[in-house]
Structure 1
Amino acid sequence: MSYSKLIATLLYLIFTIWLFLETNMSYLGQLSVALFILSLGLFIFSKMPAGLSAMLVVCLGVLLGLPESILYESLEEHVIWLMIGAFIIGGVVETSGLLDRLIRWIEVKCTSEKRLNVLVFLFIQILSLIIPSTSGRAAALLPVYQAFTDRFSANRRYLGLLMPILVLMGTNLSLIGAGSHLIGIGLLENQADQSITYLQFLIWGLPFGIVIGIISLLMIKKIYMKPIEAEVTEKAMEPVHEKHPFSTKEKKALVLIGLTVLLWITEPVHQFDIAFITILMSLIMMLPKIDLIGWREAFNRVSWSLIFFVAGATALGNLLAKYKVLDVIQHNLFKVMHHLELTNTFVPLVLIVVISVTSHLYITSHTSRAVVFIPLLIVFGKMFGLNLTAVVFMALIGMNYCLTFPVSSKALLLFYENKEKPFTIKQLMHLSMWLMPLYMIAMIVMYYVFWQHVGLALK
């Protein structure tokens, strides 16, 4: 065992002893905290697959006294079904030929540095609106990354950082950009009887997502991009791809994906949950008569390790609410902050931005961050009479920043674990040192320039 793992183990044992001896929570509440911290530790310090570690911790909890239903109910979360459907739809984009067509088109058009950046940026923004999972979008981009690095080998690191980071910034574009959005809005509905529709999130989130995506592109380009003119000139001697008409399969995929996006946008009209729509459309795409993707191939497209990790992490996060751990935290928070008087919105705005943007440093799972921090920020908002819809929306936008470590995001992890290792942890941390403060500043500026004027004023 390495020194870092030994120190982490000792700290965990000391924390666990203190937790059970010195806190006045119920046994199951104490156990929930201990298991939650253990799962995060295993994910960070062990080499076990994330899904295996999360489900093992859930099973350990059952052995130590938690009800067995915790294990079974972990797969009932609608974010799980949304992700399964998202992976299948991402598979359809690839198997139908649409992805190859887009890659070929971009390759032909990428005759300069400017065109490469513009087309990659636009391509990822489109994927961010049609594939409702960061990991699903990252998985769909891996063949694009491979094609581009074969052509622009000198920019392997640049593209390996640019693509997953733009995927994460694109999470801000819409409600289905991340499972944490659905969790946060569910908590808002349960605790404050307020909600955010797909269309509202699109109006509020899309401008910020585009702006922060451009800022990220320019920053990564400045640090890592190397001139590509020589490579492009060399490739210019190769034959240009011939134009081919859309195949029947591509036309079917375009129609069904377009219908899926339309159903997401019109959720307030038909009242069907986004996760249900995603699963329904993915099942329709699997029909033999439709012939877009086979049943077995569709399920091979699903990252089951990721599914089980999200299921386990969400279940462990829900335990904190079920066994009143969050109530204890909220009570202590109230004791510390009840004497504060906020006369303007700048202080709470900065607190929300800083807490949410840095939350990935404390909790690696995106969904778990929403489960832990959204209830706390709702209590914070109630204490100071803030607009809870604005609090939750901005918290979700802040939590979408998770670039400091590969484990902070599944999209980063997919690229980091690529056999070619396009970037190192040190390089990612260096980039985050610049991007994190820029992200915070961009949120604050966006609030004063746009959000407070379109229904998201904090007071």
Structure 2
Amino acid sequence: MNASLWLTSPSGAVLGVVLAAALAWGPLRWPELPVAAAAVLALLWLDVLQPARLIALPGSELLWLMAGAGVLGAVLQAQGVVQRVAALALRGRPGFSALCWRLTVLVGATAWLLPSTSARAALCLPLFDGLATHLPQGGQRRALALLLPTTILLSAGGSLLGAGAHLIAIDSLRAQGLPAPSYLGWLVWAAPFAVISCALATAVLLRLFTEPAQRHARLQVGTWDAGPWSPVQRRLLGVVGITVLLWAVGPVWGLGPAPVAVGAALLVAWPRVGATDVRVALRGLDLRLLAFLATGLLLADAVVDSGAASAWAQAMAGPARRLGGVGLLAMVITVSLLLHVLIGSRSARVAVLLPVLVLPLALALPGGGAVSAPVLVMAAVLGTGFCQTLAVSSKPMLLFARHPASGLAPSDLLRLSACLLPLLWLLLMGFGLWVWPALPLPSIPPFPP
């Protein structure tokens, strides 16, 4: 296809709109939602995106899944369940190093309770405030201020509901008829990576910002004693356990994750079960996040409906064959890890990266190679979870970097990024070449034609 035909084709129109959105999200730093909405309107005006897609959007199971999980997380937070989990790190007056490792485990575990990294960061701020008063200005305080948002960001990759970007990736794979991981499949593939990456980050932070004497120093804080779990908290934990179990095994019985999430949300929002005002439960409906997720799904649909993905795949077939699966994987990982410097929203990064680069390369991959399309997409999506170089690259990092008690300087973020980025690059390459190909991928079927 020559240049003039390319520019006037639906594929060229989609590419122009997506790149314009990337420019607005990146160097211009415009708000994510208005830019995404403008991109969708432009695709509708260009007759690339069909209005039927927009009309069918309120029935999207992915949106209902995120909405139900948001209500469930809001009730858990309102009843103190998530706070109690995080505060377990304070038991027994641990040393500073032991405290950091406990926080890594407990704060990381909240990725399966709260589906928003911003909400988890807001939850951890009071915990940081309480601990910072017992820490001297310097390495310990900076290490803790970086540990909490870093754990929040990296652990989010281990849960399908940890970030809206994951649902955009699922939708893109299903729309192309490619294998897309179910809730259990995502857990099998991504949770080990999230655990190892959080452990690496904790080890790096302790080594970079604290001396051996500081790591072993015990904190002079009171012992946490909240008494026994209340009946309401025990009921909510039971609901969470059953919900996660149904998310994992429900597809065997034809039960999708969205009805399970909505059912759990309705159950915990019932005052007799969650003992929470309905208005408090509805605060878990992050309408801006849902709206941005919806526009991201529409952008992914436009790439498929216009034939842009297949056209770009044909154009990239030659370079893909020359690079080979390993070369493509290395390139995708490098771009996904560095893209946060340009685009500050993880969902926006995925909304640009998948249609412009990753999916066309995945479709151009020869069958039977060392790297499959799901591996390429998973590596890209998990790579976008790294955003520690600049404070503006993620909301959790921004909250802690600008906190007056953190004592963080831009150079601290650069030091962490310089050490952590190559480690995550090697880890993603290892998973992409050896771990994921050896693991089963329980998947969900593609959308019907």
Is 1:354 the counterpart of 2:334 in the alignment? Answer: yes
SS in 1 for 2:273: coil
Q: 2:366 aligns with which of 382, 398, 405?
A: 382
Partner of 1:126: 109
Structure 1 residue 124, shift from structure 2 partner: 2.0
Q: Matched residues in 2 for 1:280 and 1:425: separation?
A: 44
Q: TM-score, normalised by structure 2?
A: 0.80
| 8 Å contact kept, 1:212–1:439 | yes
Structure 1 residue 442, shift from structure 2 partner: 1.7
| 8 Å contact kept, 1:198–1:267 | no
| 8 Å contact kept, 2:132–2:141 | yes
Deviation larger for 38-47 or 437-446: 38-47
Partner of 1:101: 84
Is 1:209 the counterpart of 2:189 in the alignment? Answer: no
Q: 1:291 aligns with which of 270, 274, 277?
A: 274
Quick one: structure 1 residues 380 and 164, their matched pair in 2 at CA, closer, same or farther if it must change by over 3 Å?
farther
Summarize the alignment of residues 86-165 of structure 1 with structure 2, pairs less than 5 Å apart.
86-152=69-135, 154=137, 155-165=140-150
Partner of 1:221: 206
Is 1:232 the counterpart of 2:222 in the alignment? Answer: no
Quick one: structure 1 residues 109 and 71, their matched pair in 2 at CA, closer, same or farther if it must change by over 3 Å?
farther
Q: Matched residues in 2 for 1:407 and 1:77: separation?
A: 31
Structure 1 residue 269, shift from structure 2 partner: 2.1
SS in 1 for 2:274: coil
Summarize the alignment of residues 275-286 of structure 1 with structure 2, pairs less than 5 Å apart.
275-286=258-269
| 8 Å contact kept, 1:249–1:292 | yes
Q: 1:199 aligns with which of 180, 184, 187?
A: 184
Quick one: structure 1 residues 35 and 142, their matched pair in 2 at CA, closer, same or farther if it must change by over 3 Å?
farther
Structure 1 residue 46, shift from structure 2 partner: 5.3
Give the counterpart letter for 1:441 in structure 2.
Answer: L
Partner of 1:38: 20
**How many pairs does the alignment contain?**
430
Q: Matched residues in 1 for 2:432 and 2:42: separation?
A: 44
Q: Matched residues in 2 for 1:349 and 1:49: separation?
A: 30
Q: Matched residues in 2 for 1:58 and 1:43: separation?
A: 15
Unaligned runs of 5+ in 1: 1-20
Is 1:443 the counterpart of 2:425 in the alignment? Answer: no
Deviation larger for 210-219 or 376-385: 376-385
| 8 Å contact kept, 2:65–2:258 | yes
Give the counterpart letter for 2:219 in structure 1.
Answer: V
Q: Matched residues in 2 for 1:388 and 1:61: separation?
A: 26
Q: Percent identity?
A: 23
Structure 1 residue 33, shift from structure 2 partner: 3.4
Q: Matched residues in 2 for 1:371 and 1:274: separation?
A: 25
Q: Matched residues in 2 for 1:427 and 1:381: separation?
A: 39
Quick one: structure 1 residues 324 and 130, their matched pair in 2 at CA, closer, same or farther if it must change by over 3 Å?
same
Structure 1 residue 216, shift from structure 2 partner: 0.8
| 8 Å contact kept, 1:326–1:376 | yes
Structure 1 residue 253, shift from structure 2 partner: 1.3
1:169-224 Cα deviation digits (max 9, x unpaired): 21343433333334434443443453434334333333322222111111122223
Give the counterpart letter for 2:386 in structure 1.
Answer: Y
Q: Matched residues in 1 for 2:191 and 2:21: separation?
A: 33
| 8 Å contact kept, 2:72–2:284 | no
1:87-131 Cα deviation digits (max 9, x unpaired): 322222221122333344323434311221121011023212333
Structure 1 residue 397, shift from structure 2 partner: 3.3
Q: Specify which structure has the bigger relative contact order, considering alpha-carbon pairs within 8 angstroms and separated by 6 or more residues.
A: 2
Deviation larger for 381-390 or 215-224: 381-390
Is 1:171 the counterpart of 2:156 in the alignment? Answer: yes
Summarize the alignment of residues 374-413 of structure 1 with structure 2, pairs less than 5 Å apart.
374-382=358-366, 385-386=369-370, 387-413=372-398
SS in 2 for 1:176: coil
Is 1:330 the counterpart of 2:317 in the alignment? Answer: no
Is 1:246 the counterpart of 2:229 in the alignment? Answer: yes
SS in 2 for 1:232: coil
SS in 2 for 1:109: coil
1:219-255 Cα deviation digits (max 9, x unpaired): 122223473777823x4xx5x4445121122111111
Quick one: structure 1 residues 202 and 300, their matched pair in 2 at CA, closer, same or farther if it must change by over 3 Å?
closer
SS in 1 for 2:161: helix
Is 1:51 the counterpart of 2:33 in the alignment? Answer: yes
Q: TM-score, normalised by structure 1?
A: 0.78
| 8 Å contact kept, 2:350–2:384 | no
Q: Matched residues in 1 for 2:7 and 2:52: separation?
A: 22
Give the counterpart letter for 1:100 in structure 2.
Answer: Q
Partner of 1:11: none
Quick one: structure 1 residues 445 and 385, their matched pair in 2 at CA, closer, same or farther if it must change by over 3 Å?
closer
C-alpha RMSD over aligned residues: 3.6
| 8 Å contact kept, 2:350–2:381 | no
1:232-287 Cα deviation digits (max 9, x unpaired): 23x4xx5x444512112211111111111111221332333323322321221111
